[in-house]
Amino acid sequence: MKDTPLSNCERDFLLKAIEEKKRLDGRQTYDYRKIKISFGTDYGCCFVDLGQTRLSCSHMFAIVCQTEHLCTLSSVFTVRQSELSVKLNRQLERCLRNSKCIDTESLCVVSGEKVWQIRVDVHTLNNDGNLMDAASIAAITALCHFRRPDVSTQGQEVTVYSPEERDPIPLSIYHMPISVSFAFFQQGTYLLVDPCEREERVMDGLLVIAMNKHREICSIQSSGGIMLLKEQVMRCSKIAGVKVSEITELINEALLNDRKARKAGGKCGFAESMPQERITALKKDETPVEMTDVTETANGIIQKGEAAPQTVPSPVVPVPGVGQVGQGLQNSWGLEDDDEDDYEEEKNDNSGDEQVEEVTKMDVGEGGLLFIYLDSLM
C-alpha cells in the first residue's frame, strides 16, 4: 500500500517552518522525541517507543553445526519486502555485526563444530519516522537483556540446561552502538535530528551515524545524493556523541530497573502489564452471583409495586354518543345560533360510503357541563 503524497501547500508549509527553526511537535532542531523502553516476560524481548514510532524486538537462538564460520550473528528486520526494509536491514547489520559489539567467541559450544546462532527479529508496529534509530536502540537493548541457556560438554555430547536447572548466561557485549539520524533540507542548508515521518518526506538527504558512548564511530551512511562538507559531518558526529551518551544511560537504567524487579520477584515495564496466562488466554476472574431465589424475589417486587396514579380522569359516557369531561366547571363559551344553522346545512350535504364520526353539536349544560354530541353519517 503506497503512502499518500504530500500536497504542495503542505510541503511548502513544512519547509517554511524548518527555515524558521520550528517543528510540528514543538521540538528544537537537535531534540529527540521521547524514548520509552519496556521489556517482556521473556529475556531478549523489548519494546521501544520513539515518539509515535513503535518497534518490538525479540531473539531466537539455536545450536547449529558450522563448518565455514565458527560463530554467526544474524539480524533480520521484518517488515514488508521493499527498498526501505532492505536498506534498514543492511544498516542494522553494519551497526551490530560489523562493529563487533558482541564477543562471538563466547558463542562457541564445540570449537569448529557447534555454535550458538542468535537471530534478532525487529518488527515495526507503527512508523512515524526514524525507524533506523528506533531499530538500533531496540536491537542492542534486546541483546543486552538476552540470556542464553547454559551448556556443558563431555566429548561430543552437549547438554543444554533449562533455566530451572541453571541460571541463563548473558551475552558478552563490548559496547553498545546506537545510530543517530540527521535529515538535511534545501541541499544541506538546514539540519534536523530525529526526523518524523512528514519531515522525512520533504528532506533532501539523510546521514546516519552509528556510535558508542566512547565516541567511536561504528558505521556511517549517507543517502539522498547530497554533497556534505567536512565541517557538516564533523558537526553531526559531535551531536551524535552527545545523543548516544544520553541514550546509553537510558538503556542502562532500564536494564537495571528490570533486573531489580526480576530479583524482587516482580515485573516492570511491559512485563508488568502483560502477566502470563492472562492477556494471551483472555482469562478473568468470575464474579459469584446467587441465582436460586431470583424468581421469588422478582415476584415479590411485582406484588409490592403500586399502579401509577392517573393524572387525567377517564371520560364519563352518560348516554351513547355523548362524552362528558369534568364536572362543576364554569364555562362561558359555546356555539351561536348561526353556527348551529350553518352546521345543520353542512350536515345535510355530506354523504359517503364510509362511516365518519364528527362533532355535530357542542353545548354547555347546567352546572358548567360540556357535552359533545357525536353523530354517525352513512
Three-state DSSP string of the chain: CCCCCCCHHHHHHHHHHHHCCCCCCCCCCCCCCCEEEEECCCCCCEEEEECCEEEEEEEEEEEEECCCCCCEEEEEEECCCCHHHHHHHHHHHHHHCCCCCECHHHHEEECCCEEEEEEEEEEEEECCCCHHHHHHHHHHHHHHHCEECCEEEECCEEEECCCCCCCCEECCECCCCEEEEEEEECCCCEEEECCCHHHHHHCCEEEEEEECCCCCEEEEEEECCCCCCHHHHHHHHHHHHHHHHHHHHHHHHHHHHHHHHHHCCCCCCHHHHCCCCCCCCCCCCCCCCCCCCHHHHHHHHHHHCCCCCCCCCCCECCCCCEEECCCCCCCCCCCCHHHHHHHHHHHHHCCCCCCEEEEEEEEECCCCCEEEEEEEEC
Give residue 378's pLDDT: 43
* Cα separation, 242 vs 68, whole angstroms: 40
Give residue 314's pLDDT: 58
Residue 2 has pLDDT above 80, yes or no: no
What number is the average pLDDT over the span 302-324?
Answer: 59
What number is the average pLDDT over the span 164-187?
Answer: 92
Residue 365 banded pLDDT, cuts 50, 70, 90: very low
CA-wise closest residue to 183 among 219, 230, 236, 134: 236
Give residue 340's pLDDT: 52
Residue 164 banded pLDDT, cuts 50, 70, 90: confident
Residue 297 banded pLDDT, cuts 50, 70, 90: confident
Give residue 315's pLDDT: 57
Residue 211 has pLDDT above 80, yes or no: yes
Tens digits of residue pLDDT in 5-57: 888 999 999 999 999 989 988 899 999 999 999 998 888 999 999 999 999 99
Domain spanning 8-286+363-374: CATH 3.40.50.720: no
Residue 269 banded pLDDT, cuts 50, 70, 90: low
Tens digits of residue pLDDT in 118-129: 888 888 999 999
Residue 305 banded pLDDT, cuts 50, 70, 90: low
Residue 330 has pLDDT above 90, yes or no: no
Return the amino acid letter for 182.
F
* Torsion sign across C-alpha atoms 241, 246, 250, 256: positive
Give residue 368's pLDDT: 46
